[in-house]
Structure 1
């Protein structure tokens, strides 16, 4: 059957602007936007650094500054000088500091002379004080000041859980980006499963579909509806990326995955539009159909590898989310992405 692109273009242009006037179609576009903006504002990509205050006797020692530098990657250490040991204790009693250092006069010089000066370490009695970290760091800094070699050569390695599971997913990608991408998958799902079939079902209900098929083939009409859905997807995803100031590190993987998922869900939506007799009927049942379609986007990579996980893996949105995650991060957070492409292609 030959396609009449003039008819397709005419139907496409009519539906592109008329459909958005329908509150149900408009809702399918606005809700994911609102959720994505909410996630973008509420979540931060970086975990806030813990802050601790150290009060110390000011005797000209470099120990406090060295301690602050040693902990700069883990704790935001605030230094507060004091004139005496009594003042240090008072600050701790008032709970205005977590740790106190009683540094004697000539502390640095005594260390250089290989003497053993007294160093008092006081901690505030309460929760939230990183005692082990602070005390261990003081010992490490003093060793460095003396020039004592480390007793052992530590080798630290992060052992990651299986691909795309556990905290590594959020560590590599960030909670904000993850949930914004999940909302983007929701946008694709709501356009494909709700907006597009509502457009088709409403025309069938109002008998305008019969009028269209008098001047154009049914295939021309279906292609025009599909192009409307894909246009909504393109504009919606572009706006989401712009509003959240996100851009994929690997655009090829990201946009190919999003496009394939969009085509798959729009195609499924057109099938639904042909099965339901009215737009209201579709609107009533659409939520039940939509939930299992978009839910995997919010849990992909979180479940344990079990039977339930494998069922979720078979849903196209889960694979689309995997490709979006890899594309946005530029890293192979999820391995074997050829499986994702294969499932979306089917």
Structure 2
């Protein structure tokens, strides 16, 4: 008996889902909502270049005496990497600059380093980097032994001590690691999920409420069945649209399982926001106002994650689910730790999802009364 009831519910949910998908293709407004992110992604794929900017490394140097180490690093470096050296007054100032992302790496050179290295005095060179160094930091660190050998003309006799400095802005180099084109197409994927959840889904729900179609559906289905069908509409639309967008823009994903998991969780969260929004609308015309009120900060928070904003502004952005979705998708596309503390993104995104669906459940209970 329970099995028959479950089978009946599944058939009802599938029927509602099929109806919503057909309505989406028939309604020019919904179809436009679905196509807009794809067109934006195509635009970025043609306007922006695949290549990232020229590789560069910004090096800070604190030297107690005159040293030729920067010149030696330049002599062994590739011409394809732009090196910039900056003299810093003290180690604390150097730590702040490395931590904030203004410098890729910091070198604390002891007194008479050049002479002591040549004479076998084994001086200690302190190297300041963040836990997840940028390309520039890793590149210069790899050159140090060869650089000192070039400086001394013999096998270098020195100690190198690496000091990890906590990074304050681990997203500052996201444009360099992903490239502007890939990041903007990645944002278009987030925008696609957002448009489906906040515009397409509430439009269908509001029209059904206005035309009393929802009342007819509730004769054969419960509010829970309708919500599940609407949520599946959002997830299916995103699951189809996002891969197509990546294919037509020729963007490769290095860690596809991570990408799929992050997009599924993020879409589920955004669909919940759309369901909650749609439950308060009595007609589709209200969506133009309230949809913008909801979507603008969510879309803006997503794209702002790649702009290297001040730490205070980034802290505010981290309250938005789309900011964490962008962080997780960026790591998946790059296949490396573009952003650190991803556990925080998973936790906050999951928390948003739970809270939103609790509110959706509460709203449904109010509608049933």
Q: TM-score, normalised by structure 2?
A: 0.63
Q: Tell me, in whole angstroms, the C-alpha distance in 2 between the residues paired with 1:209 and 1:182.
A: 34
Moved more, 218-227 or 321-330: 218-227
Map 1:124-273; keep pairs closer than 5 Å: 150-151=150-151, 162-166=168-172, 168-273=173-278
Larger Rg, first or second structure (1 or 2): 1
Mark the CA change 1:71 to 1:205 in structure 2 (over 3 Å): closer, same or farther.
same
SS at match of 1:181: helix
Q: Tell me, in whole angstroms, the C-alpha distance in 1 between the residues paired with 2:52 and 2:258.
A: 27
Q: Tell me, in whole angstroms, the C-alpha distance in 1 between the residues paired with 2:261 and 2:182.
A: 18
2:43 is matched with which residue: 38, 43, 52?
Answer: 38
Mark the CA change 1:152 to 1:21 in structure 2 (over 3 Å): closer, same or farther.
farther
> What is the root-mean-square deviation in Å for CA atoms of aligned residues?
2.6
Aligned pairs, number: 250
Contact 2:198 2:291 (8 Å CA) reproduced: yes
Q: Tell me, in whole angstroms, the C-alpha distance in 1 between the residues paired with 2:254 and 2:291.
A: 34
Q: Which runs of 5+ in 2 are unaligned?
A: 55-76, 83-148, 352-369
SS at match of 1:164: coil
Alignment correspondent of 1:304:
310
Contact 1:198 1:279 (8 Å CA) reproduced: yes
SS at match of 2:254: coil
Alignment correspondent of 2:69:
none
Mark the CA change 1:71 to 1:311 in structure 2 (over 3 Å): closer, same or farther.
closer
Mark the CA change 1:279 to 1:152 in structure 2 (over 3 Å): closer, same or farther.
farther
Mark the CA change 1:338 to 1:151 in structure 2 (over 3 Å): closer, same or farther.
closer
Q: Tell me, in whole angstroms, the C-alpha distance in 2 between the residues paired with 1:286 and 1:71.
A: 51
Q: TM-score, normalised by structure 1?
A: 0.67
Q: Which runs of 5+ in 1 are unaligned?
A: 50-69, 76-148
Contact 2:52 2:177 (8 Å CA) reproduced: no
SS at match of 1:177: helix
Q: How far did 1:252 drift?
A: 2.3
Mark the CA change 1:48 to 1:286 in structure 2 (over 3 Å): closer, same or farther.
closer
Q: How far did 1:151 drift?
A: 4.4
Alignment correspondent of 2:87:
none
